[in-house]
Structures are given as structure tokens and as C-alpha cells.
Amino acid sequence: MSEKLLEIKGLSTHFFTENGVVPSVNNVSFDVNKGEIVCVVGESGCGKSVTSLSILQLINKPGRIVNGEILFKGTDLTKLSEREIRKIRGNKISMIFQEPLTSLNPVFTIGNQISETIRLHQNVNKNQAKMKTLEVLKKVGMPNPEKQYYSFPHLLSGGMRQRVMIAMALSCNPELLIADEPTTALDVTIQVQVLRLLRDLSEELQTSIVLITHDLGVVAEMADRVVVMYGGEIVEQNNVFDLFSDPKHPYTKGLLNSTPKIHQLDDSLESIEGNVPTPANMPHGCKFNTRCPFVMNKCREEQPPLIDADNGSEVRCWLHLEKEAVSS
Amino acid sequence: MKKYILKRLLQIIPVLIIITFVVFCLVYVAGDPVALMLPEDSSESDREALRQALGLNDPFIVQYFGFVMDLMQGNFGTSFRYNQEALPLVLERLPATLELAFASMVVATVISIPLGIYSAKKQNTFGDLFITGGSVLGKAMPNFWLGIILILFFAVNITIFPVSGRGSFMHIILPAITLGTGIAAEMTRLIRSNMLEILNQDYIRTAKSKGVSNSVLVYKHAFRNSLIPVVTIMGLQISHLVSGALITESVFAWPGIGQLLVQAVNGRDMAVVQAAVFVIAILVIVVNLITDLIYRLLDPRIHYS
């Protein structure tokens, strides 16, 4: 199970706007193993979506990947030509987006949109593509696929639309699925259905998933491993059990504390003080120092490196480095 | 759908009633036709007798209802100039006008769609600036001026095309370009701004993430979505072409409704003016209805009830 499918090494994606360079993603590295579900967590604007779009080279101008490698089964995706990356998009790696209504083209039937992917990547005729489309619609639990094949997106409910997106993404049996907040726009009951569907299909098809979310409930439900991002950088990385039982970075602790717990309803809900700093006024040193309850002088002077902690976890915090220095 | 069309057709009736009223008012305020109908040396009593005979001394409302009654029987009166029934005279000119309108739309579409898409794809490049700049020029040139310049260059200096008239395929080219240029300019800008907006939509990103090539992205996924506002403008422009080709038809001596209308106005041939305005109004209504029906084909989200 430890075969590496995707290795992101030192990825930096910057946006070159008229008001200067916005470093949305800085030196981000993580791996995704075969069959694994990796959750990328963070607040809005922490660079998690930009990271996910960078993998398939879907960053639009004025954004650009300025540094780093994205190795997919050993091939660096950042070095591929437009034609070569197109063969991977939707075929080997596919994506699901947040808002299924705006993510589906309003003027084409869902059958047309799913079979388009199949016909792009597989050598099949129109009829075979339709059969495969019906098959995959059935697989994602679309009731009455023969009829829905000819439906337009606006006629479906939110949950059904997201099922269409999933069907489209899985139609070519990809090895990696990138889901960018796939349940954020859905009702809570539908969220659970969609997440279960994703997890079951991932097990059945041995598809790895990179799941972008800000919802720790989703993380607990889905993840094998968790990457916590803040201010365009990874601040902590660990397997899901250790991350929830023993969070190391103060930001992760803050995130976990600000989740309501059903057995502690008497307390008022905790929150992390302050707001995410905008890329234009990122603080010097550790990016979390403006909001960190354990802030030290050193945090304001120098950026902590991402250090290896126990059990293959990583954390970016002076607090932790100090501890290690003391114990050794 | 059928119910919707029926409803729309019924809506034509009040519109037509208003048009008859406006058309009648136009003629009523235009002055006394008797002065033109009788020789200059006719006596006042002769004129008065004619006025009486034509019912011109009746009250406004009585005259209006008389006019509407005649219309209901398809009778627009007789043209003094041609000494013929006015309505057949106008309808006879209709094919020429429709032909020119169609040819102009073809010119406009063939120019504007590729230019608009190119301009959006290459936003802020030299090519884009050239096209958007050119479209300002195209929109700013008055039709009569462009028509005369085209005649001068391509019919007088280099005699490729005939100067005026209608007949062969060559005859229609210069007037169609004259009329089509302004429309092409407007449509180019519209398609450009539309495409720019649509290329930023989520579903374009989805299509891209599926591995769709750039040309399919632009011509299938984006263009189809950008057509709705384009069809709106085309509908408006066709109405405009049917009614507003007056100047171009006059410049090229194109025997359409426009030319007839200008001549009729100059000659105070009011029966023809009335018939022409009436026919044009009906054409505009029909074009609008067709435009609305095309929306349904382009955008499945639009429902008529």
C-alpha cells in the first residue's frame, strides 16, 4: 500500500497581479500513496485550492507554478506539454469541484458531458460511450440513468449534480481523484451520501483521493492522512488518528478546539483569534505568529522549518523544535 | 410551446391597433393632401368638394375608424403616384428588402464570429486591440458615407461591382457590406465581451480538467453559451435592417421597401407610407417572435409558459 502515486515536491504557485506578486502556495510537499485518501485542510485563502489546481496545470493567468515538481508515477507533470497533460486530465487524474451547478455546462445534457470525457480518452464509438456513461451513472447511484442521460444540469438536485460530477470524474477509472470541497455546497444529509459514495468508490476502484476541505468532520470521516495548510504553506502533516489525538501545531490545535463537541455543549465554542493575514501583509517569521497563543520572540524573527516529528509526521513550529532540542 | 406561440400571436393584436393609430396620426398631421392632388389653378370650391368627397372634413375619430375599417378589408388606399393599390405595391418590394437584410446578416455574422472569438482568446494582444479599435471605426462610419465610398472605389475606379440596382449576385455585395459593417462591429464587441466572461466560468474549468482541447473548449463549451445575447442583438438588427435600410437602399437604388418609403414620403404618397410602415411593423413583430423561439433552442434553462 505504500507505493507512491503522487509526489509534490517544493511546489510554489504565485499570482503575478498588477498590485504585485501574490505567493498563494509556497514550498508545499506531500505524497499520495496508492489507494490512500489525503485530506488537505485549512481556512479560506490558505492555498489549498490553488495547490489542487496546480497538480493538473489548471492555474490560469496571471498565476504560474514558479517552482517545484509534481511527480505522478515518476513523471513530472509541470514539464509536460499541453497535449501530454491533456491525456492525463480526466483520464489518469480527474477533478471534482465545489459548486456542481456552475461546474456543469448548462447547455449540454449530462449524458453528453460524461460521454465526452469517455470519448476523449477511450477509443470507443458514440454508442459504446453511451453504454459506459449509463454504467458509471448507475455506479454513482443515479436513479433511472437512461432517462437522466438526456437531462440538463438545471433539472437535477444539488446532490444529483454532484453525482454527475463524480460520474464524469470516474468515467475513465482514474488513479487519482482530486476533490476540491466536493460537499461544501450540499445539504448536510446529502454531504454524507456523497462522501460515502466517494469512499466506497475509492475502495472499489483503488483510486487515491486528494480531498480539499475546511471541514474537520469530513476529514475525520474520510482521511487516511491529513495535510494542514496555513498561509500557503504546510504547517502540519500526520495520519488522521494521531492528528486528532495529538495535534502538534498551535494552528491545528486551534482548528480542533473550534469544532463543536457533542459532549461539551455547556462550554462556549472556542475560536482562533484574528483573521487569516492576506498574502500582501504576511507577517515576518512564522506566518501564524499574529494569532498564535504560544508565540515567542523567535517566531517573529525567523520562519520555522518543516521538521520531522515522530511517526512520519511533520510540523512547522519553533515550539516543537525547542522541545526536540531539549530532549536530545 | 404551442400555447406560448398562440399567446404571442394574440399579443400582436393590441400592438397592431396601436400601430394603426400611430400611422393614422402621422398622416393626419402631415397636412392636406388635396393641395397635391388637384392642379395649382383649381378653385377653393373644387378643393372643398374633394375634401368633402374624401371625408377629410369629418372629425378625427370618424376618420380613424374609417381608416381601420378599410385596413380590415386589406385596403390601404391607392397610391397617387403609381395609381395602384398601396399594399401590393409595398409587398412587391418586400423580397428585395428581405434579400438585402439576409445578405447583410450573413456579412455581419461571417465577420463578427471569428473576429470576436479571436479577440477574446487573445485578450489585450496587438490583434485584439486592432480588432476592437477597428470595430469602433466600423460602428462610427455612417452607412451613406460608406456606401458612397464603396461605390467610388469598387464600382467607379475599379469596375468590379455594378454601381446600383438589383439583379445579379454582384449587385447585392456592396449594399450588403455597407449595411453589414456596422452590425459586424457591434456583434464583434458583444461576442468578445461575452466570450471573455464565459471563459472564466466554472464549467470551462471543468471541461479543461476533463482533458478537452482548447479549440473544443472555445467552440463547443464556450461559444454555445455566448450565443444567447448574440441572437438578441441579431434580432434587433434584423428589425433595424428591415426598417432602417432607407438610406442604403436609396444610395444603391435598391428597389426595396426603404427606397419606396423615402419616395413616398417625399411625394406625400400617404397610402404607401401607411402600408409600408404597417408591413415593417409586422416584420419586426415576427422577427422578435422568432428570436424568442430560438432562445429556447439555445438555452435549455429557458421555459415558456
ipTM, 2 dp: 0.85
Upstream peptide bond of A62 is cis (omega within 30 degrees of 0):
yes
Show the 3-state SS of B241-287. HHHHCHHHHHHCCCCCHHHHHHHHHHCCCHHHHHHHHHHHHHHHHHH
* Structural domain includes residue B246: yes
Residue numbers in B near A90 (CB within 8 A): 209-212
What is the least distance, in Å, from the CA of A279 to any CA of chain B?
23
Residues of chain A with pLDDT under 70: 1-2, 262, 264-267, 322-328
Is B250 in contact with B258 (CB distance < 8 Å)? yes
Domains in chain B, number: 1
Site of grid cell 472555445: B218
Give the residue numbers in B contacting A (CB under 8 Å), as ranges. 200-203, 205-214, 221, 224-225, 298-301
Residue numbers in B near A86 (CB within 8 A): 211-213
Tally of CB atoms within 10 A around A259: 14
Residue numbers in B near A82 (CB within 8 A): 214
What long-range pairs does B77-81 form, CB within 8 A, spacing at least 24?
B77/B270, B77/B271, B77/B274, B77/B275, B78/B271, B79/B264, B79/B269, B79/B271, B79/B272, B80/B33, B80/B36, B80/B37, B80/B267, B80/B269, B80/B271, B81/B263, B81/B264, B81/B267, B81/B269, B81/B272
CB contact under 8 A, A107 and B225: yes
Give the residue numbers in A contacting B (CB under 8 Å), as ranges. 56, 58, 60, 82, 86-91, 94-95, 97, 99, 102-108, 116-117, 120-121, 152, 154, 165, 168
| Confidence (pLDDT) at A261 | 72
CB contact under 8 A, A58 and B221: no
* Structural domain includes residue B178: yes
Cα–Cα distance measured from residue B45 to residue B146, given in angstroms and rounded to the nearest whole number: 50
CB contact under 8 A, B203 and A102: yes
Cα–Cα distance measured from residue A137 to residue B128, given in angstroms and rounded to the nearest whole number: 42
Cβ neighbours of residue A167 under 8 Å, at least 6 residues apart? A114, A133, A136, A137, A139, A140, A142
Residues of chain B with pLDDT under 50: none
CB contact under 8 A, B203 and A99: no
Nearest CA among B246, B202, B198, B238 for reference residue B222: B198
Site of grid cell 517545484: A68
Which amino acid, one-letter code, is at A261? K
Angle between the N-to-C axes of helices B223-244 and B257-266, in degrees from 0 to 180, rounded to the nearest 10: 30
Is A288 in contact with A234 (CB distance < 8 Å)? no
Phi, psi of A55 (to 5 degrees): -60, -45
* Structural domain includes residue B85: no
Is A36 in contact with A207 (CB distance < 8 Å)? no
Cα–Cα distance measured from residue B181 to residue B186, given in angstroms and rounded to the nearest whole number: 9
| Confidence (pLDDT) at B62 | 87
Q: To the nearest 10°, the Cα dihedral for B268, B269, B273, B274?
A: 110
Nearest neighbour of B203 by CB, restricted to A95, A103, A121: A103
* Farthest-apart Cα atoms in chain B, separation: 87
Which domain does B120 fall in, by range?
94-256
- Residue of A107, A148, A170 to mutate for B, most B C-beta atoms under 10 A: A107
> Which element (helix H / strand E) includes B27?
helix B2-29
Cβ neighbours of residue A158 under 8 Å, at least 6 residues apart? A100, A101, A185, A186, A187, A190
- Residue of B203, B204, B294, B299 to mutate for A, most A C-beta atoms under 10 A: B203
Q: Does the pTM of the predicted model rise above 0.95? A: no
Q: To the nearest 10°, the Cα dihedral for A285, A290, A294, A295?
A: 40
What is the least distance, in Å, from the CA of B109 to any CA of chain A?
22
Is B100 in contact with B179 (CB distance < 8 Å)? yes
* Structural domain includes residue B296: no
* Structural domain includes residue B83: no
B294 grid coordinates: 430560438
* Structural domain includes residue B98: yes
Cβ neighbours of residue B61 under 8 Å, at least 6 residues apart? none
Is B160 in contact with B168 (CB distance < 8 Å)? no
CB contact under 8 A, B300 and A87: no
What is the least distance, in Å, from the CA of B205 to any CA of chain A?
8
- Angle made by CA atoms B208, B209, B211, in degrees to the nearest 5: 70
CB contact under 8 A, A95 and B300: no
Site of grid cell 499541453: A82
**In 3-state terms, what secondary structure has residue A38?**
strand
CB contact under 8 A, A104 and B225: no
* Structural domain includes residue B172: yes
For residues B287-303, one letter each, b for 16 or more C-beta atoms within 10 angstroms of the residue's C-beta and e for the rest, the string is bebebbebbeebbbeee
* Structural domain includes residue B28: no
CB contact under 8 A, B203 and A90: no
Nearest neighbour of A120 by CB, restricted to B211, B225, B298: B211
Give the pLDDT confidence of B114-148 residue by residue, as tens digits.
Answer: 999 999 988 889 999 999 999 999 989 988 899 99
| Confidence (pLDDT) at B174 | 92
| Confidence (pLDDT) at B134 | 93
* Alpha carbon distances (Å) from A202 to A177, B56, B291: 9, 88, 48
> Which element (helix H / strand E) includes B50?
helix B44-54
CB contact under 8 A, B212 and A104: no
Residue numbers in B near A102 (CB within 8 A): 201-203
For position B211, which CATH number holds?
Answer: 1.10.3720.10
Residue numbers in B near A88 (CB within 8 A): 211
Residue numbers in B near A121 (CB within 8 A): 211
For residues A48-67, one letter each, b for 16 or more C-beta atoms within 10 angstroms of the residue's C-beta and e for the rest, the string is bbbbbbbbbbbbeeebebee
